[in-house]
Structure 1
Amino acid sequence: MSDEHPTLPYPEPSSEHPTLVIPGGDEPRPARRRARWPWVVLVIVLVLAALIVAAEFLARAILPGIVRGIVIEQLDLPQDQQLDVDAVGILLPQLIGGRLDELHLTTDAVTFGGITGAADVTATGIPLRGGDLADARGTVRIDQEQFTNLVTASDLPVDEIGFDEPNVTASGSFEVFGMPVPVSVTVTPGADAGDLLLTPVELQIAGLTLNAADIAERFGDAAAQLAGPQRICIADQLPAGLTVTGLEIDGTEAVIDLDVDGAIATDESLQQNGSCD
């Protein structure tokens, strides 16, 4: 270049003339895809939870019928026996472990040895693959008529029974020199060593309230027995695996408490009626 046409220098960069960036110079990195595995795990968990809930409902629907059939068969009850079964707790872990924690069995009417009443039994530690129960207890509620059938085996005069919580009054008569003498005995019911125990609290003969000595003096020793406790064995009316542990009056019903031998589930002799010998 000649001096006539000198080369001009590049202008200094300034804020008034910013350097332009030519598009396409540096390629942008593609955006990362979000990981899907948390959603997959969540779906699997929800499906498993749904299956577990369904299995629990299924177990609760099937188990009562199975238990009912076993009880009816072992105790020789009628096939149409009404019996409600309720299992406590979550069943699946118990079924897997082969042992139920607790079962409630209730019925409005069941008959043993001619005595009919409403029964409520709670059993714990029930093995599903055979074996004895860990424990079982229950109650039977009977009305005045059924209670009368029980006490006819005693020496009490039983023409009529009346409940007056907590006591029972038995009315009837006995003969003295061939003449009927009206008598009324009020007793407090209980249980002892598997027997029913009736303890007199008041005794009236011919309208007079007397004690044992007066009765013996006026009417003889036979009448004096009415003033003593009356023991009534009902073992021959119950399966041998059931033992009476209590008896009390609740309103218009007599409530009998029972203890159940856990071996009744496997020992056929305990499923048969006991003996009063």
Structure 2
Amino acid sequence: MSDENPTLPYPEADAEHPTLVIPGGAQTADAAAPARRKRWPWVLLIIVVVLALLAVAGELLVRAILPGVVRSIVVEQLDLPADQQLDVDAYGILLPQLIGGRLDSLHLSTDSVTIQGITGAADVTAKGVPLRGGDLAGASGTITVDESQFTTLLSSTDLPVDQVAFDAPDATVSGSVQVLGLALPVSVTVTPGVVDGDLQLTPQGISVGGIVLDADRVQDTLGSVGAALTKTQTICIADQLPAGITITGLKITGTRAVIDVDVNGAIVTDDSLQQPGTCPRG
């Protein structure tokens, strides 16, 4: 430029000429960005809470429905009455188990069930229960019977069994034997147990005609009949239980006999295991 038209300098910033901030400019945008970013944790938290509530609702729904479904299947498989009382409990978180198609553990219990003519309480826990068909990984539990039902279990023994009275840990078997055409009342106190799936009764004391006698005296007095009364009895009861159930233990508790059982996992798919077992013929 020529000296006739000199360029004038910009005035210095001072209180008379403040710098104006344009609304919506870079500073405002930078200030708003953190506010928008702060909303995301809350959104994620809400999503997590909703998903958790849905999972809980699904778990509660499964727990409400599953017992009825399992009960129906068990009643049908074992040919039990339609009104059979049966409590069903599943353990652990069920939704992942349902997705995987197998329940880790299932507990079944009833105060009274009749199987093959024997009535008692049952308490069984099944492991690895398939939901799309197949065998159980295994199952075990107890069957509890009273004195009258235990008497029925002893029907094939050589002992005179008209009735049984429990006196833990023993049981007293009472009946009569024929001696010279006369019915002689006899009571034998035995300790019950299980050997190789069979009941075993070990005599502890014998009363003949109300008189307590030792084993030698009984044999001398009653001969072969006395020998049968004093020997340990082994009784097969497999024909009174489904073939897929094996007894593994027995103890007298109060007025009940508690029988430990092992259940073949294939009992749910193999009809033959649901039928009565067999005993060797003597």
In the alignment, structure 1 residue 189 sits paired with structure 2 residue 176: no
CA deviations 1:71-98 (Å, max 9, x no partner) are: 1111111111111110010001111111
The corresponding residue for 2:163 is: 160
- 1:21 deviation in Å? 5.7
In the alignment, structure 1 residue 267 sits paired with structure 2 residue 270: yes
In the alignment, structure 1 residue 251 sits paired with structure 2 residue 254: yes
> d(CA) in 1 for partners of 2:104 and 2:182?
61
- 1:160 deviation in Å? 2.8
CA deviations 1:131-162 (Å, max 9, x no partner) are: 11111001011111111121232122223321
Report percent identity of matched pairs: 62
- For residues 65-144 of structure 1, the aligned pairs below 5 Å read 65-144=68-147
> d(CA) in 1 for partners of 2:139 and 2:157?
29
- 1:26 deviation in Å? 4.4
Q: CA, structure 1 residues 52+150, in 2 after alignment: closer, same or farther (shift >3 Å)?
A: same
- 1:180 deviation in Å? 2.3
**TM-score, length-normalised on structure 1?**
0.88
- 1:20 deviation in Å? 3.6
- For residues 219-230 of structure 1, the aligned pairs below 5 Å read 219-230=222-233
> d(CA) in 2 for partners of 1:111 and 1:190?
22
Aligned residue pairs, count? 259
Instruction: State the SS of the aligned residue for 1:154.
Output: coil
> d(CA) in 2 for partners of 1:90 and 1:256?
31
- 1:66 deviation in Å? 1.3
Q: CA, structure 1 residues 209+21, in 2 after alignment: closer, same or farther (shift >3 Å)?
A: farther
The corresponding residue for 1:241 is: 244
> d(CA) in 2 for partners of 1:223 and 1:70?
50
**1:44 aligned partner, one-letter code:** I
The corresponding residue for 2:53 is: 50
Q: CA, structure 1 residues 133+21, in 2 after alignment: closer, same or farther (shift >3 Å)?
A: farther
**TM-score, length-normalised on structure 2?**
0.87
**2:200 aligned partner, one-letter code:** L
- 1:182 deviation in Å? 2.0
- 1:171 deviation in Å? 1.9
- Is this contact kept in 2: 1:106–1:121, CA < 8 A? yes
- 1:23 deviation in Å? 4.9
Instruction: State the SS of the aligned residue for 2:32.
Output: coil
**2:260 aligned partner, one-letter code:** D
> d(CA) in 2 for partners of 1:118 and 1:201?
28
RMSD: 1.6
The corresponding residue for 2:8 is: none
> d(CA) in 1 for partners of 2:18 and 2:167?
105
Rg larger in structure: 1
Instruction: State the SS of the aligned residue for 1:32.
Output: helix
The corresponding residue for 1:180 is: 183
| Consecutive unaligned residues in structure 2, runs of 5 or more | 1-13
> d(CA) in 2 for partners of 1:57 and 1:26?
59
- Is this contact kept in 2: 1:211–1:227, CA < 8 A? no
> d(CA) in 2 for partners of 1:79 and 1:61?
20
Query: Comparing 173-182 with 85-94, which one deviates more in the overlay?
Result: 173-182
- Is this contact kept in 1: 2:153–2:240, CA < 8 A? no
Instruction: State the SS of the aligned residue for 1:172.
Output: strand
Which is richer in helix? 2
> d(CA) in 1 for partners of 2:275 and 2:144?
21
Query: Comparing 199-208 with 123-132, which one deviates more in the overlay?
Result: 199-208
The corresponding residue for 2:32 is: 32
- 1:188 deviation in Å? 0.4
> d(CA) in 2 for partners of 1:152 and 1:143?
15
The corresponding residue for 2:173 is: 170
The corresponding residue for 1:64 is: 67
Instruction: State the SS of the aligned residue for 1:276.
Output: coil
